[in-house]
Structure 1
């Protein structure tokens, strides 16, 4: 059986630690936590305040089994959460059967001043899908009165396919 080399969770965790230099006790939300791969990578780099949400109860059970999240819950439970997170990560969450752009639109309400929003996604098959992802990141930045998102490619996101990364920084950051 051929296994895919899925590097996105490792890439996102390393980005927080080594590029953005996010503090170890930052309150981090992994939207679309799935099987817990992002949480596992974050805890391996000594992040201690990682929380996960997903649309599927079965995925939440799988993520909880990794023992890397302080809490795991359904994404609907976020509707009454405000000004809570320092970092929100959405890694490979958009697409059929995943988190919708509408659900992810809750993100601006969830973050604290000075937060960062990380969106990592397999490069879309079409320019239209690529533009949708960039428009989503730009809409979040506009709503938060933040600078334009930093958008860059991710080589070998999964196997030989590339990905795309968007970072929205709210407030003043050096990186």
Structure 2
């Protein structure tokens, strides 16, 4: 998989743009909305202080959208070093790491914890299994949130909601919200999952 994306890095942005790839803009706006809610609950929290991890950052499409929304502390990691090199060229990220496999514990950021982790186009068939989400949860701050996309075939084949509910019972995460059938690419919608640490347990709701 890493070799595939390394070869694709040079033309990736143009290729996905030709397919109407709106997922990065959508997930960035969704993340910003959730972070505003966090700031409302914690007066004094400003955009300049918020740390966001773009997990599976690719060439930096999500990071660019977050920068447009006024967030300066954007971190990124990806399996493909060549993709990370392209992301670095955007000038958007304050820290980037390549050769990071989300199926293993993510230790490259040391003790840094994130207020939001966004992952767009990563939890998809042939990429990473649902279990990779368990390697992201430990990177969250106490009030942090993960937003990830899944193409609907992935949702179905992995029984992703059922898997998340099982994890809730085990106390490993909290599924806070599911947005079904939201923008992704021109000919296919995606589902977006809002996940919080187990300590931030709330009543989950599904939005059709």
Tell me which interval the TM-score lies in, with the shorter structure as reference length: 0.7 to 0.9
Equivalent position of 1:68 in the other structure: 92
- Specify which of 121, 142, 153 is matched with residue 124 of structure 1: 153
Partner of 1:48: 72
Find out whether 1:134 has 2:158 as its counterpart. Answer: no
Note if 1:10 corresponds to 2:29.
Answer: no
**What is the alpha-carbon distance in structure 2 between the residues aligned to residue 79 and residue 66 of structure 1?**
24
Of 152, 161, 168 in structure 1, the residue corresponding to residue 188 of structure 2 is 161
| CA shift digits 1:148-167 (9 cap, x unpaired) | 33111243310031100110
Cα-Cα RMSD:
3.0
Alignment length, in residue pairs?
Answer: 172
> Which consecutive segments of 4 or more residues in structure 1 shift more than 4 A?
139-147
Residues 1:98 and 2:127 are matched in the alignment: yes
1:16: Cα distance to partner? 2.1
* Correspondence for 1:150: 177
Larger radius of gyration: 2
Deviation at 1:141, TM superposition (A): 4.7
- 1:89 counterpart residue number: 118
- Alpha-carbon offset, residue 58 of structure 1: 0.8
Deviates more, 1:146-155 or 1:52-61: 146-155
1:126–1:69 Cα change, 3 Å: closer
1:95-117 Cα shifts (integer Å, max 9, x gaps) = 35634444442112111100001
Rounded Cα–Cα distance in structure 2 between residues aligned with 1:7 and 1:141? 30
Contact kept? 2:124, 2:151, Cα under 8 Å: no
Asked whether the equivalents of residues 137 and 149 of structure 1 are also in contact (C-alpha less than 8 Å), the reply is no
TM-score by length of structure 1 reads 0.81
Residue pair 1:120, 1:164 contacting (<8 A) in 2 also: yes
Partners of 1:82 and 1:140 lie apart in 2 by 24
Judging by fraction of residues, say which structure has more helix: 2
Work out whether residues 32 and 99 of structure 1, in 8 Å CA contact, stay in contact via their aligned partners in 2: no
Q: Residues 131-151 of structure 1, C-alpha deviation per residue, up to 9 Å, x if partnerless?
A: 1x3245445655656543311
